[in-house]
Amino acid sequence: MARRSDHTREQLTELVLGEAQRLVEAEGFKALTARRVAEAVGYSPGTLYNHFKNLDDLVVQVNARTLELLDGELAGAAPTGDPQADALALALAYFAFVERHPRLWELLFEYRLGQGSELPRWFTGRIEAILARMARVLAPLFAPGDTAGVEEAVQVLWASLHGIGSLATSGKLEVVTARSAAQLARSLVVHYVGGLGAARSGE
């Protein structure tokens, strides 16, 4: 394929990321290759590697866009000050996102970086920012300064929501239950967050 120079570096980066995202949404993350993306944008695979270190780097950049989309979805769940209601709003917003973008969600959680590749600090920072939304919601259920307790509760909730999401996107949730992912999320939040509140009240 002939080399092109129709775009600036920033434009080409955006073009490649947009096409990679489109490809994943259409065919799943296993279809994502440098050659497929290069063919779609009209550049050589070598040109892509002038902008991305390797496929892992491209995936990380696509996943960063997914995290931005997810964070925007969660931002729409305006807090009310009621920990249970607010945690439930975040959980339902999360599953609404998973339902709309199941293959981007799979790329985010199922793709494994190659040996020697590590997630950059800026990327893990974006994950932490998303977790911080739930932390702010749950903080009133804990004693002031109990950051360890809040952190554990956030991890329990997100890990549980992830498990439900994984079963749902893999088509295996129906093997476990006839209930929807949203129904399970509601039950999880009501009982877990309700239990945290009860424990706090009983102190």
Task: Give the DSSP per-residue string, 4-46.
Answer: ---S-HHHHHHHHHHHHHHHHHHH-GGG--HHHHHHHHTS-HH
Q: Where are the domains of the chain?
A: 1-52, 63-201
Give residue 6's pLDDT. 74
CATH class, 63-201 region: mainly alpha
Contact present, 199 and 152 (Cβ < 8 Å): no
Same fold, 1-52 and 63-201: no
Give residue 120's pLDDT. 93
Q: Judging by beta carbons within 10 Å of its beta carbon (0-12, 13-18, 19+), is residue 95 exposed, middle or buried?
A: buried
CA angle 188, 192, 195 (to 5 degrees): 150
Give residue 202's pLDDT. 62
* DSSP 8-class letter at 129: H
Tell me if the domain spanning 1-52 has CATH number 3.40.50.1100.
Answer: no
Per-residue pLDDT of the chain (203 residues; tens, 9 = 90+): 444 567 787 888 999 999 999 999 999 999 999 999 999 988 888 888 888 999 999 999 999 999 999 999 999 998 999 999 999 999 999 999 999 999 999 999 989 888 888 899 999 999 999 999 999 999 999 999 999 999 999 999 999 999 998 998 888 989 989 999 889 999 999 999 999 988 776 65
Give residue 50's pLDDT. 86
User: What is the greatest pairwise CA distance in the chain?
Assistant: 71
Give residue 47's pLDDT. 85
Contact present, 160 and 184 (Cβ < 8 Å): no
Give residue 8's pLDDT. 82
